[in-house]
Structure 1
Amino acid sequence: MKRQPHSATILKKWRGEESPSVLRRRGCQISSLAEAPQINLSEILANIITKINKFLKGF
């Protein structure tokens, strides 16, 4: 006979998941993570390289 969890919290612990209340306590709400802006590293690098080139042209 398989073990059955007595609550959703225990089931989540068995699965290695965090409960929504724990995520809220930590400030990691799922909705805010889903709506977070994506970081475009290539754009950031291009901006840095442009600024470095402008700086070096001044010498």
Structure 2
Amino acid sequence: MEPQSWNRIPLDWSRPTATDVVVALVLGYLLYQQPDIPEWIAFLVAGLALRCLRFTQKTL
């Protein structure tokens, strides 16, 4: 079997917990209500708050 180069990427995918979802929804709603912040930034920050992608230290 050949080594796979994409496997060296230090990212892990995980499902968000209920707490992560609540925090992301509240944060997204609060940012969405601010008149100076564009909608896409509010949704982007809320998506990042879900913590689905996590950086890890993978060793070879």
Q: How high is the TM-score relative to the length of structure 2?
A: 0.31
Tell me which protein shows more strand as a share of its residues. 2
Ranked by relative contact order (alpha carbons within 8 Å, sequence separation 6 or more), the top structure is 2
Tell me which protein shows more helix as a share of its residues. 1
Structure index of larger Rg: 1
